[in-house]
Chain A
Amino acid sequence: MKTAAETDKQRWERETLAPALAKLPDRSQPFTTISGRPIERLYTADDLDGIDASRDIAQPGEFPYTRGIHPTGYRGKLWTMRQFAGFGTPEETNERYKTLLRAGGTGLSVAFDLPTLMGRDPDHELSLGEVGKCGVNVTSLADMETLFDDIRLSEVTTSMTINSPAAMIFAMYLVVAEKQRADWKQLSGTIQNDILKEFIAQKEYIFPPRPSMRIITDIFAFCSREVPRWNTISVSGYHIREAGATAAQELAFTLRDGLEYVRWGVDAGLDVDDFVPRMSFFFNAHSDFFEEIAKYRAARKLWAEAMRDRFGAKSDRSWKLRFHTQTAGVSLTAQQPYNNVVRTALQALSAVLGGTNSLHTNSLDEALALPTAEAATLALRTQQVIAHESGVANVVDPLGGSYFVERLTKDMEDEALAYFERIDRMGGMVEAIERGFPQQEIAESAYRFQQAVERKDKIVVGVNGFVQTDEPPMEILYIGETASETQLAKLADLKRTRDSAAVRRTLDRLGSAARGADNLMPPILDAVRAYATVGEMCDTLREVWGEYEEVPMI
């Protein structure tokens, strides 16, 4: 019997739980999420204190979109199955894209190599050994033409993971579309274009933060006029999480980055409702199932409220947070790699239950190398099994109303808001980055997690538990040096055959635009049309703005 002063949960603990615990006590491991968040044994209606169901949870398609942005969930349209791929030469990657499209992939996603990501041509000293290794090498428009050979840009949507040289690569895509006679107004896809998370986590920056932010607002302005269906930015928590952040830190830093871009756009004179609807997000799907689901739900609510209340956005398209998800590369193990198929399936399921709009599932061999075609196909099949066999796509937000999930959603939101406040006090995200705040928070979390693994507080199957010593080696995709040789030869050839006066002239115009305040996209498009290389365009901007170097901290 419940006494007057106790809740039903307390009564249950006393009457039912206590005798059970006396017979069988808890296991000795800490009951925490992978982020170290303590989890209670049981959640009941009492845990919904402070949550107003109609205000905070609401219904799908309704503000604040905690339950999803689409009233129809996945019944109208499944998420986009978008597999990130790229390696070697544009010719090789073009083949892989055609394979993925034939296998039922519904969008393309380009992985570039490090020289391209860092704005260096294959003949630069720092490109030594890196050409085509972690993605496809794209040096000039000629490579982009090859990459999309036989693929109609008006019929696919393409996501491109490119940040510092995003404007140049996007311009190449637009010029390829132009040559295919596709209408820019109809083109759809995404450029990652999120420089803040580069400074915070992935570290593929070139220019200092402030001119980098200007390129981004120039892209916002250009696209709102010329390429209105293009997603101009994919504000990314993925890399923040991979660098070691907790789920709440991923949520907080990503959303706060988003707010920073909106502030810079508004300060550049843009109307919120003109550019915010084209902003999208990109989250990690890590291994702690419910914590991830809560993270996606909290993200939608935080964004909707911030857009309406902080920035006065009037359009519901500005309020709705759309996001891509990728399963956690960092969770994959080199040991017993087939276990990774299971990890990825669970992570993908959390993204789907959290209402992702598109999804990439990692391949089982990615702790060892870039994936083989077979491994990449199996990863796509994982999504198709979830979509068509598991039944989870039949119902909108199946976990809505779960005491546990709603409590966790609210806790994640509160933690993110506390970080927002700290970063606001520093003057904003650019200022926080300049003083190394998010970087240090993440490094702390990464080290704490590694220590938990060493202590076996966290078990990673096949690594610190259930270890197997007689593992057969796995066949991997080995990328040799031929891509580098091919790309170097093509570059030399290009430099002989293009109109070098036009290259010089367009690069000079780009330099003067960078020194002034004109939008950078038109001069970049002209340089691309003249077959200026990524390295040449970035060097032109390096001369004006200099290069960013972070202070090494451990």
Chain B
Amino acid sequence: MRKLRVVIAKPGLDGHDRGAKVIARALRDAGMEVIYTGLRQTPEQIASAALQEDADVIGLSILSGAHNHIAPRLMDLLRSKGLDDVLVVLGGIIPGVDIPKLKEIGVKGIFLPGTPMQDIVDFINANARTRVA
């Protein structure tokens, strides 16, 4: 079986990339193949990166409060591209009241400040499956 392929993306205007980079390294050290898109990606760019890279997982890092706009748009785009089975996880500063809505639209894992890197690795290993290309 091939390694899990993870696209780590930083959508929105925010440039604070410490979290995205730390997680990218942790997933790589845990044996996954990690593609980091860089900063300020639109949902369209993230969806096409997932398609091109044949991603099994998309990890979003959002700290700015724009998640209620970005996540729904990304999920719609993934559906329209037939990428419904890509596991989408989100890390960042997410007010508690927004979490049920995000889960409802299909963001499977939401990781708040202080989450151990190992928890995220374990969650991805338990919930992602390598897609057959």
Q: Which residues of A contact B (CB under 8 A)?
A: 114-115, 117-118, 120, 125-130, 133-134, 198, 202-205, 242-244, 330, 333-335, 367-369, 443, 446-447, 450, 453-454, 460, 462-464, 473, 476, 478-479, 549-554
B116→A552 contact, CB < 8 A: no
Asked, given contacts A334-B112, A454-B118, whether A128 binds B69 with beta carbons under 8 Å apart, the answer is: yes
Q: Which residue in chain B gives the minimum CB-CB distance to A118?
A: B13
By the criterion CB–CB under 8 Å, are B22 and A368 in contact? no
- Evaluate whether A129 and B69 lie within 8 angstroms (CB atoms) in the complex, with A446-B18, A454-B116, A554-B21 already known: yes
Interchain CB contact under 8 A, B22 and A446: yes
Q: Is B77 an interface residue (CB 8 A)?
A: no
Within 8 Å CB of A134, what residues of B? 14, 64-65
Give the number of residues in B that approach A within 8 Å (Cβ atoms).
38
Q: Give residues 28-59 of B contacting A (CB, 8 Å).
A: 28, 34, 36-40, 42
B82 within 8 A of partner (CB): no
Q: Name the segment of B93-101, B102-110, B124-132 touching the other chain.
A: B93-101
Contacts of B67 in A (CB 8 A): 129
Closest to B94 in A: A368
Q: Least Cβ distance of A98 to chain B in Å?
A: 24
Give CA–CA (A195, B118) in the complex, Å: 35
A471 to chain B minimum Cβ distance, whole angstroms, is 11
What is the bound-complex CA distance between A242 and B14, given in angstroms? 14
Known: A130-B13, A203-B16. A367 touches B113 (CB 8 A): yes
Whether A454 lies near B117 (C-beta < 8 A) is yes
Shortest B39–chain A CB gap in Å is 6
Contact (A552, B37) CB under 8 Å given A129-B65, A133-B66: yes
Residues of B within 8 A of A115 (CB): 13
Min Cβ gap A465→B in Å is 12
For residue A133, which residues in chain B have a CB less than 8 angstroms away from its CB?
A: 64-66
CB of B96 within 8 A of CB of A334, answer no
A126 CA to B66 CA, complexed, in Å: 10
Min CB–CB distance B110 → chain A (angstroms):
13
On chain B, the residues within 8 Å of A367 by CB distance are: 93, 113
A446–B12 Cα distance when bound, in Å, is: 22
Give the shortest distance, in Å, between B57 (CB) and chain A (any CB): 15
Check B74 for interface membership: any CB of A closer than 8 A.
no
Contact of A114 with B13 in the complex, beta carbons under 8 Å: yes
11 contacts between A and B (CB under 8 A): A129-B65, A129-B69, A130-B14, A243-B18, A333-B113, A447-B21, A450-B117, A453-B116, A454-B117, A462-B114, A551-B38
Residues of A with C-beta under 8 A to B12 = 114, 126, 129-130
Enumerate chain B residues within 8 angstroms of A242, measured Cβ to Cβ.
16, 18
B83 in contact (CB, < 8 A): no
Interface residue B90 (Cβ < 8 Å from any Cβ of A): no
Contact between chains at A125 and B65 (CB < 8 Å): no
Residues of B within 8 A of A203 (CB): 15-17, 39
- B78: min CB distance to chain A, Å: 18
Q: Which chain B residues border A369 with CB–CB below 8 Å?
A: 93, 95
Decide if A368 touches B14 in the complex (CB within 8 Å): no
- The residue of chain A having its C-beta at the shortest distance from the C-beta of B63 within the complex is A134
Known contacts A334-B114, A454-B117, A479-B65: A552-B22 contact under CB 8 Å: no
Residue among B13, B66, B70, B96 facing the most chain A CB atoms (10 A cut-off): B13
Q: Is A335 a contact of B114 with CB atoms below 8 Å? A: yes
